[in-house]
Amino acid sequence: FKVPHPVNEPVKSYAPGSPERKELQQTYQDLKSQQLDVPMYIGSEEVRSGNKLPLTMPHDHQHVLGYFHEGDANHVTQAIEAALAAREQWANMPWQSRAAIFLKAAELLAGPWRARLNAATMLGQSKNAYQAEIDSACEMIDFLRFNAKFMTEIYAQQPESSPGIWNRLEHRPLEGFVFALTPFNFTAIAGNLPAAPAMMGNVVVWKPAYTQIYAAQFLMQLFRAAGLPDGVINLIYVDGPVAGDIIFSHRQFAGIHFTGSTVVFNSIWKTIGNNLHLYRGYPRIVGETGGKDFIVAHPSAIAKEVATGITRGAFEYQGQKCSAASRAYIPANLWPEVKQAIVDDLETFKMGSPEDFGNFINAVIDEKSFNKISKYIGSAKNDPEVEVIAGGNYDKSVGYFIEPTVLLVKDPAYVTMCEEIFGPVITIYVYEESQFEEMLEIVNTTSPYALTGSIFSRDRYAIDLATSKLLHAAGNFYINDKPTGAVVGQQPFGGARSSGTNDKAGSVFNLIRWTSTRTIKETF
């Protein structure tokens, strides 16, 4: 069997006056003017607990987009039961039928559902139209189309046989249910974490971040519109630890597909370890976590390219990408030109609501993030050892707005060089040109993370040196490009060290984690 050959979904430009821009603007306004009542989806039911909490816009936090029904421990149990009830029929469905459901979801999203998902991501997560398009449209579509192809590759994996002996592999789903625990920052990640295990025949309980529920409910509706049977994916809005208490002590817990912060993943891993005796088997633990992503410029690099790598890599989606550049190492010979180019570029960045398509910078996700990020900036501003090259101001009176902020430090181990801030802040250290190799050692050892990183250089020896010295410093390593923007099927994504289990989202390596293979030998 071959599925339709996947091609990456082309990114729409939303040029002024284009029909797609008009449609997106109209959908944005339509959704903004409504107040949705957002249920959980458990089995065949839309569940309304009555405990309604508001969904607000980060860029205008008094504006209520709707109310979601928060669940409790009983809803977690119900979601597990609904998943287990659906399991046998789903696992026994021919894989081609499962693939067809998700391929249909991809086509619906490429067509009539595109504007809705993009508008929801703009409204609920404060992404500009371009950032929403590459996330909730293109990347989500790519995950579904490419995963269907990876399914064919996995199911085609068969061993050798010989006359009189027929060996075969049966790529079974895991025994039990999978928990998808998803972050706020990418709609496509939120959708892929439940979809990928489901494609491989698993049943799923899905808990999104509260700040991503607005778009998550539309994804759930999309999967249902594409024909996903009841109970295969169950979407619940329950406080993380409340959900965790029940799920991680359930005998049928078979795996977790997680993306989020390192601290949460660490605690989940420990809980699972402590509860091993409760389970039937060893649960699959797949998690993508934090980053402290770097840009290193060699003295031979082109200053303007380095500056653009910094401004785009650090500030797209307000720096709230796990792959966002947040520390940069610039040689002294390039610094004056890089600095000027950064300042010039940032002057063109407008900040405000995504409703105005001209705004590059929107709001950070919520008050908690705003307070955390502004605290880092505030203490840097008060530190005589730190120079603020650009930005540094913030205001939460209407929305959670923080200016793109560039800090220059004298100490390469300064706190903002080491810790994940997850906001529009990049810290720069200027090194002596002769110290490139020593600099690489500092890059390698400064932070516990190893997600993404870039080297800018025109010198092949320097590129090769950086590639080998930084062998384990990044799961996704870029040469002469910014460290964000991985494309499904082209740059499989994931990091090691404290950045996760490196099971490479958007590749066969991830999908294969959702199978447990039986080997059968039959003798004649």
Report, as residue numbers or ranges, the catalytic residues.
288, 322
In this structure, the number of other CB atoms found within 10 A of the CB of residue 264 comes to: 18
Q: Degrees (nearest 5) of the Cα angle 336, 341, 344?
A: 125
Q: How far apart are CA 274 and CA 248, in angstroms?
A: 10
Residue 463 host element (H or E):
helix 460-469
Half-sphere exposure of 325 (CA within 13 A, CB side): 35
Residue choice 70, 139, 288, 345 for contact with ligand NAD (CB under 6 A):
288
Q: Residue 475 Cβ, how far from ligand NAD at the closest point, in Å?
A: 8
Residues touching ligand NAD, count (CB under 6 A): 29
**181 is an interface residue for ligand NAD by CB under 6 A:** yes
* Near ligand NAD by CB under 6 A: residue from 66, 291, 313, 483: 291
Q: Which stretch binds ligand NAD (CB under 6 A): 7-15, 88-96, 238-246, 295-303?
A: 238-246
Q: Which is nearer to ligand NAD, 238 or 338 (CB)?
A: 238
Instruction: Tell me: does residue 260 bind ligand NAD (CB under 6 A).
Output: yes
Write out the binding residues for ligand NAD, residues 489-518 only, by CB under 6 A. Answer: 495, 499-500
Among 126, 185, 454, 507, binds ligand NAD (CB under 6 A): 185
> What is the three-state SS of 4-42?
CCCCCCCCCCCCCCCHHHHHHHHHHHHHHCCCEEECEEE
- CA–CA distance, 50 with 85 (Å, rounded to integer): 25
Report the Cα–Cα distance between both ends of the chain, in Å, rounded: 27
Distance CA 262, CA 495 (A): 12
Q: How far is CA 222 from CA 154, 180, 505, in A?
A: 26, 17, 21
Do the bridges between strand 325-331 and strand 425-431 make them parallel or antiparallel, or are there none, so unpaired? parallel
Q: What is 261-306 written as a DSSP string? A: -HHHHHHHHHHHHHTGGGSSS--EEEEE----EEEEE-TTS-HHHH
237 binds ligand NAD (CB under 6 A): no
- Binds ligand NAD by CB under 6 A, chosen from 8, 261, 275, 435: 261
Q: Which is nearer to ligand NAD, 403 or 420 (CB)?
A: 420
Site string for ligand NAD, 364-403 (x = CB under 6 A): ----------------------------------------
- CA-based nearest residue to 105, from 233, 206, 286: 233
CA 388 → CA 89, 281, 341, 360, 405, distances in Å?
A: 59, 52, 15, 21, 7
Exactly one of 130, 206, 315, 422 binds ligand NAD (CB under 6 A); that residue is 422
**Closest to ligand NAD by CB, 300 or 427:** 427
Stretch that binds ligand NAD, among 30-38, 140-148, 184-192, 300-308 (CB under 6 A): 184-192
135 lies in the binding site for ligand NAD (CB under 6 A): no
Please check whether residue 331 is in contact with residue 432, taking contact to mean a CB–CB distance below 8 angstroms: yes
Give yes or no for residue 289 binding ligand NAD (CB under 6 A): yes
- Please report whether residue 189 would count as binding ligand NAD according to CB under 6 A: yes
Kindly state the smallest distance separating residue 238's Cβ from ligand NAD, in Å: 9
Among 134, 196, 209, 440, binds ligand NAD (CB under 6 A): 209
Q: Considering the rule CB under 6 A, would residue 213 count as an interface residue with ligand NAD? A: no
Residues at the site binding ligand NAD, with contacts judged by CB under 6 A: 181-186, 189, 207-209, 240-241, 244, 259-261, 264, 267, 288-291, 322, 420, 422, 451, 495, 499-500
